[in-house]
Amino acid sequence: MAHSEPLTVAQTLADVRTRLDRAAGLAGRQPNEIELIAISKTHPVEAIQPLLTAGHRSFGENRVQEAAEKWPALRDRYPDVRLHLVGQLQSNKARDAVALFDSIHAVDRPSLITALAAAMKAEDRRPDCFVQVNIGDEPQKGGCAIVDLGALLTRAREAGLPVAGLMAVPPADVEAAPYFALLAELARRHDVPGLSMGMSSDYETAAMLGATCVRVGTALFGGRG
């Protein structure tokens, strides 16, 4: 094309999905084994709307407050939306999170497990829970230490949380693949089905290494300013 128009978000979505499916195929996996979560944090409803119009239904936010402002009205119109919380969760926001989200990707400490269990009882809602692992053992990152994972999973299961998988954000600026492989190994060892891993720069690698959901923001929406 002589003058290429900027891609619409729907075209970008189709491109990301194609890459994801190709990566899944290389690993002998089925495309429908991998949920593409569009991370819409910081982006306004006007940026989200075209994805909804294109039929996309899986979204993620990292702040309860921001999600509570953006999503209830959209969900009235698109009741089949699946909303994921991918950021750190304070225990005092557990009830709001349980009321709003279909899955929570940052379960990383006993006090939060207790708060979520109480919130699920109070709300009579049971979002899928992913236990976040500090896979690169980085002091500034959320997630439980690898050595604590077994005990935390036991605690989550005993508290009645629906444990759907493990989640991690590998260290920045190094090859992510070994960390994805390690997370997959931990999931096997602890008999956890889901793997939430892979972001804009590495979702294809994550798909090849067993991700069941990838969390993609920038590659879909552009930068967050």
Q: What is the residue type of 119? A: A
Q: Which residue has the tokens 């400490």?
A: 109
Q: Is 39 in the site for ligand PLP (CB under 6 A)?
A: yes
Q: What SS3 state is found at 132? A: strand
Q: Residue 196 has what DSSP assignment?
A: E
Q: Which of 154/218 has CB closer to ligand PLP? A: 218
To ligand PLP, the closest distance from the beta carbon of 47 in angstroms equals 13
Asked if 217 is part of the footprint of ligand PLP (rule: CB under 6 A), the reply reads yes
Question: What are the start-end ranges of the H helices in 54-148?
Answer: 64-77, 94-100, 110-123
Interface region with ligand PLP, contact rule CB under 6 A, candidates 26-34, 120-128, 171-179, 213-221: 213-221
Query: CB of 197 within 8 A of CB of 183?
Result: yes
Q: Which of helix, strand or coil describes residue 161?
A: coil
Q: How far is the CB of 216 from ligand PLP (least distance, A)?
A: 5
Under rule CB under 6 A, residue 197 binds ligand PLP: no
Site string for ligand PLP, 150-189 (x = CB under 6 A): -------------------x--------------------
User: Could you say which of 199, 206, 211, 213 contacts ligand PLP (CB under 6 A)?
Assistant: 199
Question: How far apart, in Å, do the first and last CA atoms of the chain sit?
Answer: 29
Which residue lies nearest ligand PLP, judged by its C-beta? 217
Helix (H, G, I), strand (E, B) or coil at 38: strand
Task: Please answer whether residues 83 and 99 qualify as being in contact, where contact means their C-beta atoms are separated by less than 8 angstroms.
Answer: no
Question: Using CB under 6 A, which of 86, 135, 195, 208 touches ligand PLP?
Answer: 86
Q: Under the rule (CB under 6 A), what is the footprint of ligand PLP?
A: 39, 41, 62, 86-87, 169, 199-200, 215-219
